[in-house]
Amino acid sequence: MQRPNANPQQLPNGFSYQRMTLSAQKSLNLFYHLQQNLPWQQPSTTVYGRTGPIPRLQCFISDNEIEYGYSHSKLIIEPWPVILLAMRERLERHLKQPLNSLLVNYYRDGCDTMGWHSDDEIELGPKPTIVCVSLGAERVLKLKHKATNKVTDLKLHSGSTLIMHGDSQRDYQHAIPKQTTLAHPRISLTFRYILPTPS
Ligand SMILES: O=C(O)CCC(=O)C(=O)O
Ligand SMILES: [Fe+2]
């Protein structure tokens, strides 16, 4: 029999996945609370010379005095909501690393997406640890090895936690593709540590 937290999905080096880090009820409650209370933004970005709104909503939460050029868009910095501070502290204790920033993504349905990218901005340092907690609809995360183009699919269940660490950003790109038949929304909480900018 499978242990409830066992990882049935074979993952490349630098990725670790835990299915049930939050109960179904807690995940749903947190999903609705954040959906209703976060100040969602839909900034524009330029991809291959075309400027348009990003295909999802987002909210960037961070400690003061952090500059982050995520996807070359200007991010409005929000303060930490109390409801997310305990999760941040629990993850920091588990990782034995600080996490000073959180990019929250809100996929309103299966037509909202995140294109291929690596979280390899200079402000994240050489081997960043990024923790991604999923709430709501199950979505597929695609991982593509940069050298071989081999693609691995990982299902992200509500209440799960994916940790990307080591050389995962150097060696892989990741994306959340369209699932046009999916009507349900999903929120992902992506905790990171952004190096302070020298003044
Ligand atoms: O929504 C996800 O699970 C992926 C989010 C992501 O890749 C990011 O915020 O950089
Ligand atoms: Fe990412």
**Mutate which of 132, 156, 173 for ligand 1 pocket (most atoms within 8 A of beta carbon):** 132
The rounded Å distance from CA 119 to ligand 2 centre is 5
Q: What per-residue confidence (pLDDT) applies to 76?
A: 86
- 188 Cβ below 6 A of ligand 1: yes
Residue 80 lies in a domain: yes
The rounded Å distance from CA 190 to ligand 1 centre is 6
- 190 Cβ below 6 A of ligand 1: yes
ipTM tops 0.90: yes
Instruction: Give dist(CA 103, CA 191) in Å, integer.
Output: 7
Q: What per-residue confidence (pLDDT) applies to 197?
A: 74
CATH code, domain with 77: 2.60.120.590
Q: Which residue has the tokens 């609809």?
A: 137
**Is residue 3 scored above 60 in pLDDT?**
no
**Is residue 180 scored above 70 in pLDDT?**
yes
Percent pLDDT > 70 in the chain is 89
Q: What per-residue confidence (pLDDT) applies to 16?
A: 96
Amino acid identity of residue 196, one-letter, is P
Q: What is the mean pLDDT of residues 139-154?
A: 97
In which band, very low, low, confident or very high, does the pLDDT at 2 lie, cut at 50, 70 and 90? Answer: very low
- 58 Cβ below 6 A of ligand 1: no
Residue 6 lies in a domain: no
Residue 85 lies in a domain: yes
In which band, very low, low, confident or very high, does the pLDDT at 74 lie, cut at 50, 70 and 90? Answer: low
Instruction: Give dist(CA 135, CA 160) in Å, integer.
Output: 8
Residue 1 lies in a domain: no
Residue 198 lies in a domain: no
What are the pLDDT digits (tens) for 123-145? 999 999 999 999 999 999 999 99
Residue 10 lies in a domain: no
Residue 129 lies in a domain: yes
**Mutate which of 17, 114, 135, 160 for ligand 1 pocket (most atoms within 8 A of beta carbon):** 114
What are the pLDDT digits (tens) for 41-55? 999 888 888 899 999
Q: What per-residue confidence (pLDDT) applies to 176?
A: 98
Residue 3 lies in a domain: no
Is pLDDT larger for residue 67 or for residue 97?
A: 97
Adjacent-strand bridge partners of 17: 162
Domain extent, residue 22, equals 15-192
**Contact call for residues 96 and 64 (beta carbons, < 8 A):** no
* Ligand 1 atom at minimum distance from 162 CA: 3
Largest CA distance in the chain: 55
Ion ligand 2: residues, CB within 5 A, are 119
Q: For residue 93, what is the enclosing H or E element?
A: helix 82-95
Count: domains in the chain: 1
Backbone CA torsion sign across 24, 31, 101, 138 = positive
